[in-house]
Amino acid sequence: MSVKGYADMGCHYVIDSLGRLYEGRVLHARGAHTGGHNTGTVGIVLLGNFNVIQPFAVQLGMLRRLIAYLKHITCMAGHRDFQPDEAECPGRYLEQQLPVLATTLDLKFRTGGYLPPVWSKSNLP
């Protein structure tokens, strides 16, 4: 936050390696987690370098429960799906898990399911 000058963290939720859930930015505030795609999205980060290690089962379980709880979510995508030239996350091992998780939760996968809110600038004529 101090390096980039943010008022608080950019993501709404954080899941650590023990599956503990933390609230980051309050849900009703627009996130700062994916440049150009923060409006109408929820930022969730799992702690770990998932280019090197597999995500822990407890992390995936908490992610599944959190998304099920947030009933208004319709699409799941990784940061790299929105900004392929700028991001490595979610990392190759977590990225492999996301299509199955999206199917399990009846969500569209990748950015094709992202619909900005009707009131957002990107939807105005």
Span 69-74, average pLDDT:
83
Domain residue limits at 49: 13-111
- CATH number at 39 reads 3.40.80.10
Percent of the chain with pLDDT over 90: 37
Which residues have a Cβ under 8 Å from the Cβ of 15 and sit 6 or more positions away?
21, 22, 44, 45, 46, 47, 59, 62, 63, 66
State the pLDDT at residue 86: 82
pLDDT bucket at 115, cuts 50 / 70 / 90: low
Of the ranges 40-54, 71-85, 100-114, the best mean pLDDT one: 40-54
Higher pLDDT, 86 or 13: 13
Domain count, the chain: 1
Domain membership of residue 117 (yes or no) is no
